[in-house]
Amino acid sequence: MNIHPTAIIDPQAELGENVIVKPYAIIEADVQIGDNCIIGAYVVIRGGTQLGAGTEVHTGAVLGEPPQDMKYRGEPTHLSIGENNHIREFVTMHRARGEGESTRIGDNNLLMAYSHIGHNVVVGNEVIMANNAGVSGHCVIEDYVNIGGMVGIHQYLTIGTMAMVAGFCRLVRDVPPYTVVEGLPARPRGINVRGLQRHDMSAEQISALKRAYRLLFRSELNTSDAIAKLVQESEPTAEVKRLIEFMRRIDQGYSGRQADPH
């Protein structure tokens, strides 16, 4: 390990092999850091935080602070961060509220400078959050989501897989998978074609999602009738089925999806 002499590391913290800790970092007891992690200067990692292998934390990030929730009474909770994440300057992530509960971050995510992950949030894999984006408590961010800069996300929301949230949005409702949303408050504007192409989705799959989008968001049909028409006309693709199920549950909010990004 390469630990700068000015770093403060509690003897009860667990550090894996080949960990680098830069000047003035603080790592408390009950912290677990996996192999090949890099902890930047002035980073603070509070107790109850687990950091997966290959993750890099840049200058001034603060991980595992208590939740910003008036109901929190000091009960032991956790922040669990997966492998190969890039956590940039001054990012903040908070532990959960509720004894034994966790804020959970998956693998291969990029959280840009000053972004925030609130308590009890679940983030999937390969998510990108741009500068100053903020996720309030109890939200679910599914895999491959792209969130623009300065986005504000209300508590208890779900953002579906491969969705794109434009910069400066205010999110007060769930974001359907595969869509692009924009505005104040944000509204669906179309299918995230470029994002789907990056994940090797075929022209036929994208075409089916476009048709489903038109029926759900651009026709005069209500959601129930649009879903019924999609199901009746032909066998929906796997992606359309996922979009249909999401729309069926959208009014149930976070509690209807069991806090699972997969």
**Per-residue pLDDT tens digits for 58-111:** 999 999 999 999 999 999 999 999 999 999 999 999 999 999 999 999 999 999
**CATH architecture classification, 197-257:** Up-down Bundle (1.20)
Work out the mean pLDDT of the chain and round it to a whole number.
94
Grouping H, G, I as helix, E, B as strand and the rest as coil, residue 55 is coil
- Per residue in 165-189, pLDDT tens? 999 999 999 999 999 999 999 999 9
Delimit the domains of the chain by residue range.
2-191, 197-257
Cα(117)–Cα(95) distance, integer angstroms? 9
pTM over 0.75: yes
Cβ contact 86:111 at 8 Å: yes
Cβ contact 46:28 at 8 Å: yes
Task: Return the residue matching tokens 């550090």.
Answer: 15
Helix axes 238-249, 223-233, angle to 10 degrees: 160
CATH topology of domain 2-191: UDP N-Acetylglucosamine Acyltransferase; domain 1 (2.160.10)
Residues in a beta bridge with 62:
44, 92
